[in-house]
Amino acid sequence: MIDIELGAVQERFADIVWAHEPVSSGELVKLCEQELKWKKPTTYTVLRKLCEKGLLQNEGGVVTARISREDFYSKKSEQIVADSYKGSLPAFVAAFISRKDLTEQEADEIRQMIDAFRKGEKP
């Protein structure tokens, strides 16, 4: 089971891995130094924690994700809907669009997703 509860820093770290995987742990240290201004011990500490959570793996000094970025953020979105909107997707959408105007293009894209769903197609 993968623990999707990540802090902002852990998500940034995971994004670096997703963008560069497979990546050697040494190269990951260099990337984190450049992008996050981290020292080597910080990189290895966060890597170890994300491996423990089941999100990443470090085998033979090569770091890869155990779940894709798309799947992670999909699961995270599902969790937000479940926790904050009692599992109601319509309540989530209503809350979202009450604070942000949709463009015609966005409304059309959402309509197309719903139409595809009704036809049994995956978006």
Number of folded domains that form the chain:
2
Return the higher-pLDDT residue of 110 and 19: 19
- Please name which of 104, 105, 80 lies closest in space to residue 93, comparing C-alpha atoms: 80
From CA 115, how far away is CA 20, in angstroms rounded? Answer: 35
Containing structural domain, residue 31: 8-69
Q: How would you classify the pairing of strands 62-65 and 23-24?
A: antiparallel
78 occurs within a structural domain: no
Q: Which residues pair with 59 in a beta bridge?
A: 62
98 and 55 together in one domain: no
81 occurs within a structural domain: no
2 occurs within a structural domain: no
Top mean-pLDDT range of 1-5, 45-49, 69-73, 108-112: 45-49
- What is the percent of the chain where pLDDT is above 70? 97
13 and 51 together in one domain: yes
SS3 115: helix
Top mean-pLDDT range of 2-11, 53-62, 76-85, 96-105: 53-62
pLDDT at 49 over 70: yes
35 and 60 together in one domain: yes
Contact 62, 24 (CB under 8 A): yes
Q: How far is CA 23 from CA 13, 82, 94, in A?
A: 13, 34, 41
Whole-structure pTM value: 0.75
What interhelical angle do 25-36 and 40-52 show, nearest 10? 110
102 occurs within a structural domain: yes
In this prediction, residues 9-36 reach a mean pLDDT of 97
Tokens matching residue 73: 């953020």
Residue type, 120: G
55 and 96 together in one domain: no
pLDDT at 22 over 90: yes
